[in-house]
Structure 1
Amino acid sequence: MTESTVSTQIQLVTRPVGWPTARDFRTVSVDLPELAPGEVRVTNEFVSVDPYMRGRMNDVKSYAPPYVLGEAMTGGAVGRVVASASDTIKVGDVVVHQFGWRDRVQEGAAGFRVVPELSGVPLSAYLGVLGMTALTAYVGLLDVAAFKAGDTVFVSGAAGAVGSMVGQIARLKGAKRVIGSAGSPDKVALLTQKYGFDAAFNYRDGDIAGQLAAVAPDGIDVYFDNVGGEHLEAALATLNNGGRAALCGAISTYNNTEATPGPRNMVNIVGRGLTLKGFIVGNYVHHFPEFSAEMAGWLASGEIVFDETVVDGIDHAVEAFLGLLRGENTGKMVVRTVA
């Protein structure tokens, strides 16, 4: 059977105000040209959807340029090379890249990284537990928050792709106590029964500060923030003297149309000598070799486990992304582009 040279791509066509809707996107078919020297053609198997993508839909200055209207959305993906005019990448190689929301991509070989196929591990793992998602958890906890054995750690949005990794890494590195928040009773149970958290609570029950205080009577030493808003305020109320917070994301505010009020207890930063540090994982990629070695060992031994929420079909990528923003995923949300 002849390999298709048609690429189905998802484009952003209008910049969302508040919550994105399906009308902000369109699906197009693009005919790929003959390979130029040095190019490869890849059939994607999995495409990543991630919270940070919401920020790139706004035309504002940030750590990453905004998406260009009328062009295919970019982001993490993993696939297999089906045609090659490169001396370094051959047909059949599995590659990861950042060309994102499409089922086929054709670009210069420099834009792809060849990765091994691991027995019993799906290729989608390169978008989560073996990729930038888990690296975010690793460097955020160990470098940014300066975790040390004996710390009590609180993770917001702990059943998501990053949060679930943070809690498990903290446990493996000798945390005294690991606490997480999640958005449903099932996810709360998952944290303690599968991921090894010592305690967890459902933030949708309200009174986040009160719930955190109840499960952390001796306070917390490290806060890993994926949510912002009320979670950050609760953490500032609970952090012990000298506590550290790694600010990774603030998904509770991404679709707000007005400025979000800051925590009302910022004075605690001064009084308790707290350190709050925001970070972008792209500034910590030099940790990737050590992360890869440790994570591969933890996966092989079964000390790290992971979940994925898989949505089938590139034409359902927008649905997957909107579901992610609503918290419908457990673990990493990915789109499977091939049957």
Structure 2
Amino acid sequence: MTKQQWTLKARPQGIPDRSEVDIETRTIDHVPDEHLLIECLYFSMDPAIRGWMSDVPNYLPPIPLGDSVRSSVVGKVLQSEADGFSTGDLVVGTGGWETHGVVPAAYFSVIPPDSPFPAHYYLSALGAVGLTPYFGLLRAGKAAAGQTLLMSAAAGAVGSIGGQIGKILGQRVVGIAGSDEKCRWVTDELGFDSCINYKTCGDMEQAIRGACPEGVDLFFDNVGGEILDAALMNLNKDANIVFCGSISNYNATEPVPGPYNWWQVLARSVTVQGYLISDYLSEFPEGQAQISEWINSGQLKFKEHIVDGFENTLDAYNLLFEGKNDGKLMVKV
């Protein structure tokens, strides 16, 4: 059978374009042992993919040139050569931007057939988008009631859920987002205590100080760059930073200076925790069970932004870097 895939043809310089990532047709002629043939139904659009496109060392190896772009996907099993998977199963795991794929079974899990939620929830609130802030706050960040949580990219998929989890845990939550509309959403709809529009606030360090008059106990960093620098100047003694992402730097074409205020880590005895959701793989069922309860009780709300059409994948992906996605971004194949 044939498939279409978005092939990585060259290492992107800045935001990826069709000279670097483009559609090709390939042939599938064999499904090895311990592999699955799946029809891809949804792709997850995640900032981390941009790092995998480059050849800079990362927590996963670079995507080889000539391969499909790596991504979390939801798919339907068409052929199984592995125990525990049957034809017709809906599965979620690490695949690629392709209409069909032959994938290692070890990279996938079966979506419970009795799940009351749509399959694409397993790429959003019940997948990495929800589990990342869940374990990032509870485990890596050691979140506790009474703390002030500062959440960058607060209106994004991870940040919006993370802020709500902070409120459930009894924290005072201050978000940082890129428009007044996004700030209103996280405060009025999601219950954040305050939100800073980083595009209009002027002096970011002073804006954080005004929104967090008692200082910041936990900073959940999805952005890096100037926002990290400003946050460093507002941390309390023994504060925690959960370093989850650095989207401000992903498309940089020149070396990016380190944080100018990094000395605050020493001055205030700050703990910086680099954080990968894969570190908590064995605990995923616990996290999914708790998040499911919060969704059903109405304590946790989230948006999904689903773009229709395989051919629109690259344009959809680049919405992440233009700030134009409205919720967890996915492509419906």
- 3-state SS of paired residue (1:23): coil
* Match status 1:62 vs 2:58: yes
C-alpha displacement of 1:34: 5.5
Structure 1 pair 87/257, CA: closer, same or farther in 2 (3 Å)? closer
CA distance in 1: counterparts of 2:242 and 2:321, whole angstroms = 21
* Match status 1:270 vs 2:266: yes
The counterpart of 1:199, out of the listed 171, 174, 194, is: 194
- 3-state SS of paired residue (2:323): coil
CA shift digits 1:119-158 (9 cap, x unpaired): 6632111111101222111121111111111111000001
Structure 2 residue aligned with 1:291: 287
The counterpart of 1:189, out of the listed 169, 184, 209, is: 184
CA distance in 1: counterparts of 2:107 and 2:307, whole angstroms = 25
* Match status 1:325 vs 2:321: yes
CA distance in 1: counterparts of 2:241 and 2:204, whole angstroms = 17
CA distance in 2: counterparts of 1:109 and 1:215, whole angstroms = 47
Structure 1 residue aligned with 2:214: 218
Contact 1:117 1:123 (8 Å CA) reproduced: no
Q: Which amino acid aligns with 2:232?
A: L
- 3-state SS of paired residue (1:70): coil
Structure 1 pair 327/111, CA: closer, same or farther in 2 (3 Å)? same
The counterpart of 2:118, out of the listed 93, 116, 122, is: 122
Q: Which amino acid aligns with 2:179?
A: S
Q: Which amino acid aligns with 1:204?
A: K
Contact 2:111 2:119 (8 Å CA) reproduced: no
C-alpha displacement of 1:310: 1.0
Paired residues in the alignment total: 332
Structure 1 pair 330/23, CA: closer, same or farther in 2 (3 Å)? same
C-alpha displacement of 1:213: 1.5
Q: How does 1:81-230 map to 2 (within 5 A)?
A: 81-117=77-113, 121-175=117-171, 177-205=172-200, 206-230=202-226
Q: How does 1:229-248 map to 2 (within 5 A)?
A: 229-248=225-244
Q: How does 1:63-82 map to 2 (within 5 A)?
A: 63-82=59-78
Q: Which amino acid aligns with 1:33?
A: D
Structure 2 residue aligned with 1:23: 19
CA shift digits 1:31-83 (9 cap, x unpaired): 32255565433222111111111111111222110011111111100022234
- 3-state SS of paired residue (2:233): helix
CA distance in 2: counterparts of 1:100 and 1:182, whole angstroms = 30
CA distance in 2: counterparts of 1:118 and 1:8, whole angstroms = 31
C-alpha displacement of 1:264: 2.4
Q: Which amino acid aligns with 1:302?
A: G
TM-score, structure 2 length as denominator? 0.94
Structure 2 residue aligned with 1:51: 47
Listed as ranges, the gaps of 5+ residues in structure 2 are none
CA distance in 1: counterparts of 2:61 and 2:84, whole angstroms = 29
Structure 1 residue aligned with 2:36: 40
Structure 1 pair 280/40, CA: closer, same or farther in 2 (3 Å)? closer
Contact 1:178 1:198 (8 Å CA) reproduced: yes
CA shift digits 1:186-239 (9 cap, x unpaired): 211111122211101211114222221121111111000001111111111111
CA distance in 2: counterparts of 1:227 and 1:108, whole angstroms = 32
Contact 2:178 2:197 (8 Å CA) reproduced: yes
Listed as ranges, the gaps of 5+ residues in structure 1 are none
> Which stretch has the larger CA shift, 265-274 or 303-312?
265-274
CA distance in 2: counterparts of 1:191 and 1:200, whole angstroms = 7
CA shift digits 1:237-272 (9 cap, x unpaired): 111111111011111111112222223222222222
CA distance in 2: counterparts of 1:228 and 1:179, whole angstroms = 17
CA distance in 2: counterparts of 1:106 and 1:29, whole angstroms = 14
Contact 1:48 1:100 (8 Å CA) reproduced: no
C-alpha displacement of 1:117: 4.6
CA distance in 2: counterparts of 1:194 and 1:100, whole angstroms = 34
CA distance in 2: counterparts of 1:262 and 1:43, whole angstroms = 43
CA shift digits 1:65-115 (9 cap, x unpaired): 001111111110002223445553222211012112112123354443111
